[in-house]
């Protein structure tokens, strides 16, 4: 009988029926926990052993609680974004809760950028975008959490800007915040498995507190689920295309107007009007790029999505959203960014359209290369 068992991390009643409800613990783990005199629910277990914090949803009370916690803190805010998904990385309303706290903007996944891309161009753009969202970062920097690039210099920047404050690390899910926190833990404490704090349901939020030299804390906060991310739209087995493993190699196409390039079946680029031009695509090296005539493109997509044009796979078509069209006239050389997937560099004096699953942003920016 499980009824009287309680998680020693959060105090929730242990149950094995509903993985989505508080106190869930697989049956096999209950006996193990009892044997070791250390019974945790699955959520607290993961938090303690893997530094995994359960994410919060934009519509949750937990989300507001998180923002309030940030507002009430006297802290340096380390705001982690995915440089391949800037819009999908934005925490709505964060600017209202930052208050007087300084913000350090960290662009993650730098390892994927082509070598030819000038890093300062990207950080300038990130700064502009952040300003447009009402936040003025004290510094902008790029790291690769996965490859452990620039983590030491990030730690130096944190020391420089925090003064005597605590440090709060915030970010939406999928930007690589957990990977980054684990690198930070490794570098600051030398410990692989730091024992982390847990929570009481409904009272405080999960957080991971890493002690800093002067008795202050570096606090990891729950990841926030941002529904408008390519990562949420794609079937699980297609996620590799939004989390490329290797530096992206540019692919060049000589295009005439009225030609289309399909990006697998997840997105599409139409060259509507302009001279014959070289356009350069920056996507995961394994994403299949397929050229066709614009006039046939709709029919081509209907016929081949899930087959020749994949992802999505044949069995995933039912859950896959329709592509939505976004048209732009470009005065000068620009990047058409399909958020979370990559971008296409197009010369000026052209009219183009980008298609992406409904909800995923398609934007134009000054060309980065």
Do 66 and 53 meet the contact criterion of CB atoms below 8 Å apart? no
Candidates 33, 88, 107, 171: give the one binding ligand GDP (CB under 6 A).
171
Q: Which stretch binds ligand GDP (CB under 6 A): 29-37, 41-49, 153-161, 176-184?
A: 176-184
Tell me the C-alpha distance between 72 and 68, whole Å.
6
Unique residue bearing structure tokens 């069995």: 315
Nearer to ligand GDP, 5 or 67 (CB): 67
Residues with Cβ within 8 Å of residue 329, at least 6 apart in sequence: 350, 351
Q: Three-state DSSP class for 226?
A: coil
Least Å from the CB of residue 350 to ligand GDP:
31
Q: Which stretch binds ligand GDP (CB under 6 A): 3-11, 26-34, 67-75, 166-174?
A: 166-174
| Per-residue mark of binding to ligand GDP, 126-145 (x: CB under 6 A) | ------------------xx
Nearer to ligand GDP, 283 or 300 (CB): 283
Query: Among residue numbers 223 through 282, which ones bind ligand GDP (CB under 6 A)?
Result: 223, 243
185 binds ligand GDP (CB under 6 A): no
For 343, what's the count of Cα atoms within 13 Å in the CB-facing half-sphere? 26
Nearer to ligand GDP, 171 or 264 (CB): 171
Dmax of the chain from CA atoms? 75
Tokens representing residue 262 in the block = 């399909």
Nearer to ligand GDP, 206 or 270 (CB): 206
Of 221, 84, 88, 218, nearest to 154 (Cα)?
A: 218
CA 57 to chain centre: 14
The DSSP H or E segment spanning 186 is: helix 177-189
Query: Among residue numbers 318 through 357, which ones bind ligand GDP (CB under 6 A)?
Result: none
DSSP single-letter state for residue 249:
P
Residue closest to ligand GDP, measured at CB? 176
Tell me the C-alpha distance between 116 and 64, whole Å.
41
Candidates 56, 70, 106, 112: give the one binding ligand GDP (CB under 6 A).
112
Least Å from the CB of residue 52 to ligand GDP:
8
Nearer to ligand GDP, 61 or 247 (CB): 247
Least Å from the CB of residue 232 to ligand GDP:
12
The two counts, helices (H) then strands (E), for the chain are: 9, 18
Least Å from the CB of residue 103 to ligand GDP:
17
Tokens representing residue 198 in the block = 């847990």
* DSSP letter for each residue of 307-336: TTB-SSPGGGGGGPPPEEEEEEEESS-EEE
Least Å from the CB of residue 34 to ligand GDP:
31
User: What is the total count of residues that contact ligand GDP (CB under 6 A)?
Assistant: 17
Residues forming a β-bridge with 65: none
Of 326, 313, 302, 172, nearest to 241 (Cα)?
A: 313
Least Å from the CB of residue 208 to ligand GDP:
11
146 binds ligand GDP (CB under 6 A): yes
Pairing of strands 334-338, 362-366: antiparallel
Q: Which stretch binds ligand GDP (CB under 6 A): 26-34, 171-179, 258-266, 321-329?
A: 171-179
177 binds ligand GDP (CB under 6 A): yes
Chain contacts with ligand GDP (rule: CB under 6 A)? 108-109, 111-112, 144-146, 171, 173-179, 223, 243
């Amino acid at each position: 009988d499980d009824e009287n068992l309680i998680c020693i991390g959060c105090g929730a009643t242990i149950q094995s029926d509903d993985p989505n409800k508080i106190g869930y613990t697989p049956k096999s783990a209950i006996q193990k926990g009892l044997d070791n005199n250390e019974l945790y629910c699955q959520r607290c277990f993961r938090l303690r052993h893997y530094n995994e914090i359960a994410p919060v949803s934009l519509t949750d009370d937990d989300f507001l609680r998180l923002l309030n916690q940030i507002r009430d803190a006297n802290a340096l805010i380390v705001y982690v974004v995915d440089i391949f998904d800037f819009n999908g990385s934005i925490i709505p309303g964060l600017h209202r809760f930052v208050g007087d706290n300084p913000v350090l903007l960290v662009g993650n996944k730098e390892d994927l950028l082509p070598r030819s891309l000038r890093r300062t161009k990207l950080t300038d753009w990130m700064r502009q975008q952040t300003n447009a969202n009402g936040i003025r970062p004290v510094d902008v920097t790029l790291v690769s959490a996965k490859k452990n690039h620039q983590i030491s210099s990030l730690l130096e920047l944190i020391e420089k800007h925090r003064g005597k404050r605590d440090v709060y690390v915030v970010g939406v899910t999928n930007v690589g915040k957990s990977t980054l926190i684990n690198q930070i833990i490794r570098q600051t404490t030398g410990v692989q498995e730091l024992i982390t704090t847990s929570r009481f349901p409904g009272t405080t939020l999960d957080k991971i507190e890493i002690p800093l030299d002067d008795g202050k804390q570096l606090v990891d906060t729950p990841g926030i689920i941002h529904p408008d991310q390519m990562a949420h739209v794609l079937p699980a087995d297609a996620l590799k295309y939004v989390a490329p493993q290797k530096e992206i190699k540019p692919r060049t196409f000589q295009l005439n107007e009225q030609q289309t390039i399909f990006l697998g079946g997840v997105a599409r680029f139409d060259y509507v009007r302009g001279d014959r031009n070289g356009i350069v695509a920056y996507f995961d090296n394994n994403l299949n790029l397929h050229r066709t005539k614009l006039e046939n493109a709709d029919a081509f997509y209907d016929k081949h999505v899930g087959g020749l044009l994949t992802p999505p796979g044949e069995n995933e078509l039912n859950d896959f959203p329709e592509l939505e069209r976004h048209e732009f006239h470009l005065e000068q050389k620009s990047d058409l960014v399909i958020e979370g997937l990559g971008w296409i560099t197009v010369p000026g004096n052209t009219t183009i359209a980008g298609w992406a699953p409904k909800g995923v942003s398609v934007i134009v920016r000054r060309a980065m290369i």
